[in-house]
């Protein structure tokens, strides 16, 4: 009898987005090691981090661990805080899209931008955008314009090539907002239409999946005490004519509970495992 063999696991790309509520906020000395240990345990392949000191390599190395290639936002705040995109495989930076589309958005967040990279993965070539639009609640007009800018940059770069594409990050927008409706193919804007699958919605269609909620004391006792709980951190997978080019094998929140009394951030992270669909993309 021939010996039995165990089939190889399907290639997977693991993606994480997390706003780490950086070092200028309470409890960083306790929160930082928890975030780093969690990220290293999860071992993601693509990581979008927001509110990190991008000019301090030792902090980024402590959060991510070794082996990543980084593309950080180029206009940090005065305290050095911005976002960074980390990939397990080498990437090529395509563009950094300036999303300061109005006087108000220019005055609120200097690193309001999107960093776009292209890289090779076990699932094939992939374009990834780390998207950080405006955060103030009344700025949905800006967020919709920002979404169009990034989506158009993605489409112009992809053209008619067969590429996977992701848009990930802290969108500061709930699923029913104008910008997220545009991203998810529910509406058009500025004569442009795209369709990206929300990884959480695919895996948990009946769960709101809040990532910024009042159950977290860092939110409840922070600057948004009168706001409602919302899902504002997203992993989006670009669709072709018949659906997303990648299948969401799993999606979950991370750091959504205290560990030994420590809440890691005022945001919960979102982690998704992506695989090729049956029959290929």
154 assigned to some structural domain: yes
CA 158/CA 143 separation, integer angstroms: 22
The vertex-209 CA angle with 64 and 65, nearest 5°, equals 5
* Percentage of residues of the chain with pLDDT beyond 90: 92
pLDDT at position 5, please? 43
Least confident of 41-50, 100-109, 122-131, 181-190: 100-109
Beta strand residue intervals within 60-123, DSSP E: 69-72, 81-87, 91-98, 113-121
How many independent structural domains does the chain possess?
1
What residues make up the domain containing 75? 13-275
Beta-strand pair 81-87/91-98:
unpaired
2 assigned to some structural domain: no
> Do residues 22 and 81 touch, judged by C-beta distance below 8 A?
yes
> Is the CA virtual torsion 279, 125, 96, 85 positive or negative?
positive
Q: CA–CA distance from 84 to each of 74, 121, 158, 163, 169 (Å)? A: 9, 19, 22, 22, 10
CA 247/CA 250 separation, integer angstroms: 9
The DSSP bridge partners found for residue 87 are 46, 69
Report the interhelical angle of 57-64 vs 28-42 (nearest 10°). 50
252 assigned to some structural domain: yes
pLDDT at position 9, please? 74
Least confident of 68-72, 161-165, 216-220, 275-279: 275-279
Is 3's pLDDT higher than 70? no
pLDDT digits (tens, 9 = 90+) for 236-277: 999 999 999 999 999 999 999 999 999 999 999 999 999 999
Chain centroid to CA 155: how far?
19
Is 7's pLDDT higher than 70? no
Look up tokens 């809440």; give the residue: 263
113 assigned to some structural domain: yes
pLDDT at position 4, please? 41
255 assigned to some structural domain: yes
130 — pLDDT class (breaks 50, 70, 90): very high
Round the CA-based radius of gyration of the chain to a whole number and report it. Answer: 18
3 assigned to some structural domain: no
100 assigned to some structural domain: yes
226 assigned to some structural domain: yes
Domain at 232, CATH number: 3.60.10.10
């Amino acid at each position: 009898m021939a010996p039995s063999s165990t089939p190889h696991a399907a290639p997977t790309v693991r993606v994480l987005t997390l706003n780490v509520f950086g070092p200028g906020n309470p409890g960083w000395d306790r929160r930082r090691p928890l975030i780093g240990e969690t990220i290293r345990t999860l071992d993601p392949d693509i990581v979008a981090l927001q509110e990190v000191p991008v000019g301090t390599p030792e902090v980024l190395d402590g959060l991510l661990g070794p082996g990543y290639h980084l593309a950080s936002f180029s206009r940090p705040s005065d305290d050095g805080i911005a976002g960074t995109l980390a990939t397990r495989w080498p990437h090529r930076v395509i563009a950094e899209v300036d999303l300061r589309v109005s006087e108000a958005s220019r005055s609120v967040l200097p690193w309001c931008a999107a960093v776009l990279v292209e890289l090779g993965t076990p699932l094939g070539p992939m374009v990834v955008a780390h998207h950080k639009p405006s955060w103030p609640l009344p700025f949905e007009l800006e967020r919709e314009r920002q979404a169009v800018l990034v989506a158009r940059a993605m489409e112009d770069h992809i053209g008619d090539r067969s590429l996977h594409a992701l848009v990930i990050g802290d969108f500061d927008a709930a699923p029913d907002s104008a910008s997220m409706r545009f991203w998810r193919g529910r509406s058009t804007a500025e004569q442009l239409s795209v369709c990206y699958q929300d990884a959480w919605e695919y895996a948990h269609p009946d769960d709101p999946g809040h990532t910024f909620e009042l159950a977290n004391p860092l939110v409840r006792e922070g600057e948004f005490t009168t706001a409602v709980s919302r899902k504002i951190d997203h992993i989006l997978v670009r669709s072709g004519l018949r659906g997303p080019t990648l299948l969401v094998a799993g999606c979950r929140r991370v750091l959504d509970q205290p560990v030994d009394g420590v809440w890691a951030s005022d945001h919960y992270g979102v982690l998704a495992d992506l695989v090729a669909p049956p029959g290929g993309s």
